Amino acid sequence: SPKNEKCKVLIANPSVPQAGLDILEKKCDLIKINNESKAEILSKVKGVDAIFYATYIPLDKEILDQAGSQLKTVSLMSAGYNHINIPELKERGIKLSNTPKVLSDAVAEVAVLLTLGAARRSHEGRKKIESGDWKSDPQWLLGQDISGSTVGIIGLGSIGQAILKRLKPFGVEQFIYTGHKEKTEGKELGAKFVDFETLNKNSDFIIVSAPLTNETRGIINDDFFSKTKKTAVLVNIARGEIVNQEALIKALKEGKIFSAGLDVMTPEPLPVDHELLKLPNLVLTPHIGSATVKTRNSMSVLAAKNILKGIEGEELLTPVF
């Protein structure tokens, strides 16, 4: 926009933490949407310099076309960017940022919650209390130990490392991980790099902390569960689509694995009558990995700072590209 005009930023979610908006309001005019919908985004995006894209609504060509050629930068309030049409942004020279690292500890805490909950059958136990089926039987509601176990981490990025650090004090015998390549951090943390199949066959706990890409979509499938230990616990804090949910449901029903804990699933929100909600050996949380007061504030502030960098044409603090 011309020099005498203030920058314009679309805030694409009505409940972005104020800490980030405070930073932006000093320099730009903020255009806010009233409810989280594509129609609202389309009706307000025209002419903005930047979008504070705090939503998982797919960011597609239609939104970018509607925005116009002055759009410089898109700032996400998430680590994941699988909902963004990357080629369309690149073609237009629009810069993209995410908010990695500031959320790793919070997401790792939920991973520990789900690991413990699934291992010790917390959901099933709660249901038994409610139905009056509490038994004083030494063989009742037996779970799996983290102590002495092998933990396999799919994706040893910032979040995977934070999970490893938190599980270590539980007395894990061995950490193994898989991903694109062996990492120096893996070595430092005492984790062994293995291939996907080796991880599957050897893990007592399988934790998914990889981004959703064409490479990871559906990699936890029927074939995977045919090789998993029957006592294994699966935890997913990444993206639901990495797991073939039909295959997971079958594996949980048929005892191909022991239990699972999911913070992410498909679809989100999950319909109230969904089959996942009927499984006793599944612990669910509603995509709350980064949902703490401190972390969401940090994400909002980082996303706002990225917007100002992008508008000024400076290097983004946490660029995707």
Give the active site residues. Answer: 287
Q: Which residue is nearest to ligand 3PY (CB)?
A: 80
CB distance 310 to 27 below 8 Å: no
Positions in 79-138 near ligand 3PY (CB under 6 A): 79-80, 103
Task: Report the DSSP beta bridge partners of residue 190.
Answer: none
Write down the least CB distance from residue 79 to ligand 3PY, Å: 4
Q: Is 78 near ligand 3PY (CB under 6 A)?
A: yes
Alpha helices in 206-271 (DSSP H): 222-225, 245-253
Choose between 45 and 111: whose C-beta lies nearer to ligand 3PY. 111
Report the C-alpha gap between 124 and 141 in whole angstroms: 8
With contacts defined by CB under 6 A, name the span among 59-67, 74-82, 196-204, 247-255 that binds ligand 3PY: 74-82
How many other CB atoms sit within 10 Å of the CB of residue 187?
A: 11
Region from 78-86, 136-144, 220-228, 310-318 binding ligand 3PY, contact rule CB under 6 A: 78-86
d(C-alpha 9, C-alpha 308), whole Å = 10
Residue 75 or 144 with smaller CB distance to ligand 3PY: 75
> Buried (b) or exposed (e) across 8-21, using 16+ Cβ within 10 A?
bbbbbbeebbeebb
Quote the least distance from Cβ 15 to ligand 3PY, whole Å: 13
Binding status of residue 290 toward ligand 3PY by CB under 6 A? yes
| Size of site (CB under 6 A) for ligand 3PY | 6
Nearest partner of 77 among 302, 308, 239, judged by Cα:
302
Closest alpha carbon to 171 in 154, 189, 150, 155: 150
Pick the closer one to ligand 3PY by CB: 244 or 318.
Answer: 318
Per the DSSP assignment, residues forming a β-bridge with 282 are 260
Neighbours of 90 (CB within 10 A): 12
Least CB distance from residue 37 to ligand 3PY, whole Å?
Answer: 19
SS3 95: strand
What is the distance between the alpha carbons of residues 312 and 11, in angstroms, rounded to a whole number? 18
| Residue of 261, 303, 267 whose CA lies nearest to 285 | 261
Is position 143 an interface residue for ligand 3PY (rule: CB under 6 A)? no
Min dist CB 146 to ligand 3PY, Å, is 24
Q: Does 157 bind ligand 3PY (CB under 6 A)?
A: no
The binding track of 11-40 with respect to ligand 3PY, each residue x by CB under 6 A or -, is ------------------------------
Among 289, 302, 305, 310, binds ligand 3PY (CB under 6 A): 289
CB of 208 to ligand 3PY, least distance (A): 12
Which range of residues in 36-44, 72-80, 145-153, 249-257 is near ligand 3PY by CB under 6 A? 72-80
DSSP assignment of 267-319 equals SSSPPTT-GGGG-TTEEE--S-TT-SHHHHHHHHHHHHHHHHHHHHTPPPSSB
Q: How far is the CB of 80 from ligand 3PY (least distance, A)?
A: 3
Phi, psi of 267, deg, nearest 5: -85, 170
Tell me if 228 contacts ligand 3PY by CB under 6 A.
Answer: no
Of the two residues 103 and 207, which places its CB atom closer to ligand 3PY in the complex?
103
- What does the block give as tokens for 298? 């940090």
Q: Residue 307 Cβ, how far from ligand 3PY at the closest point, in Å?
A: 17
Residues forming the site for ligand 3PY (CB under 6 A) = 78-80, 103, 289-290
